Structure 1
């Protein structure tokens, strides 16, 4: 698949380290949790989840994203996709819980809006390192009940999303979705495993992608060989039992990188 050329129409500074880039094209066939491959010409092609039908939210963490932050409105990018499996859209009157951390909030905010429009009852736990890094508060609040935590206590409750989760009766939720730093999700996995509700959970994983269509094997997970780009990036919690999840991932050369 060749990249589609898109023009940047608007750039929103969401936080000191995060920006949202809007395009002149909407990916109407994209589902929440799916991703696109973003080609920053002359630098790299990287996977990014759609935060809106026509936008990606980016945190500056490497060469490609640093170059992306240098672009201005009117500049162009190449986009391939959407790819992968997204989140399961809940049905009317289902009671769902969303647990979002850091820039992972971008991947799951669209799900919250889909769920609300489907008639589901949405509860969100939103966390970040500090008040400045909280993302999409208004979007989540518009969809239902919202609980906010910050690591340093600079906004709302001091602590982690897992502190709030531990106070909930997880069995009352029909579906539980999460996206954020993998160690955060690993802790969530542990809590929900003990409560025996993993079968109703969905986790969005980040791995190194090359082809993005399940051919090259760069993103295959131990054990079992699940391809994050094709079989994921969203997985049911039961699929992650006894896998590399929360322990390590592989870099461009296949070397293990521990979390």
Structure 2
């Protein structure tokens, strides 16, 4: 995955409390006043993993950290994914770097003995999440725009064959992917669908209101009320 980094941070208190779908904020050097939010990728004992693409000064700074260096990290923050009691079959849809928070959810589901399908979409095979990092008990479907993986298409193409199978659907990806999913009402029906919003944040704790989004219940803050929402809860044409 060119331009994508996976780092492990020793943060025992955060790792112990973290849930799939939650996030942390990091101070990325003294030259940047705002902390950067990143989804928790997975946890392992006293450590947590962060998977991120370099998209600006903050993530560029973070990508250069070396083993043994200290990072200022706050979390876990927000409300994560919720596997309903009685659900046995989970369908996870990841668009690009949206795979970051879904791997922990896949691990949790598979660890509880649930059937989990993880669909990962990317532009080309080199940008797909490594297959050997996905839990063995998870059924992995890899798809690319150019057909360089086993299957050609986009991740949402696989809602049609698998939506009926799943008890719950979870997704993380670009807003365009969520808009497309929201237009599949007849396909999804009353199926519970949870999506993780990745919005620009200021404080990450609900004080600045910089990550406000319009929902059918009024304005909500991604950092405090999310980042996980029900698909039908968000008014998608109000999000840029």
Match of 2:38 in 1: 48
Q: What CA deviation, in whole Å up to 9, does each residue of 1:135-172 have, x standing for no partner?
A: 1423435232221101111111111112222233x233
The farther-off stretch of 125-134 and 207-216 is 207-216
Query: Unaligned stretches of 5+ in structure 1?
Result: 1-14, 249-257
Match of 2:24 in 1: 36
The alignment covers a number of residue pairs equal to: 230
Match of 1:112 in 2: 106
- Give how far 1:246 is off: 5.8
Question: Secondary structure of the equivalent of 1:86?
Answer: coil
Match of 2:227 among 226, 233, 240: 233
Structure 1 residues 33 and 93: alpha-carbon distance in aligned structure 2, compared to 1, 3 A threshold: closer
Question: Is residue 161 of structure 2 the alignment partner of residue 173 of structure 1?
Answer: no
Match of 2:182 in 1: 189
8 Å contact 1:98–1:178 — kept in the other structure? Answer: yes
Task: Return the alpha-carbon distance in structure 2 between the equivalents of residues 91 and 130 of structure 1.
Answer: 37
8 Å contact 1:101–1:128 — kept in the other structure? Answer: yes
Question: Is residue 52 of structure 2 the alignment partner of residue 58 of structure 1?
Answer: yes
8 Å contact 1:123–1:145 — kept in the other structure? Answer: yes
Match of 2:67 in 1: 73
8 Å contact 2:169–2:191 — kept in the other structure? Answer: no
Q: What CA deviation, in whole Å up to 9, does each residue of 1:177-232 have, x standing for no partner?
A: 000122122212222x2224355000000112122222221111125101111110
Task: Return the alpha-carbon distance in structure 2 between the equivalents of residues 78 and 33 of structure 1.
Answer: 20
Task: Return the alpha-carbon distance in structure 2 between the equivalents of residues 71 and 178 of structure 1.
Answer: 30
Pairwise CA RMSD of aligned residues? 1.9
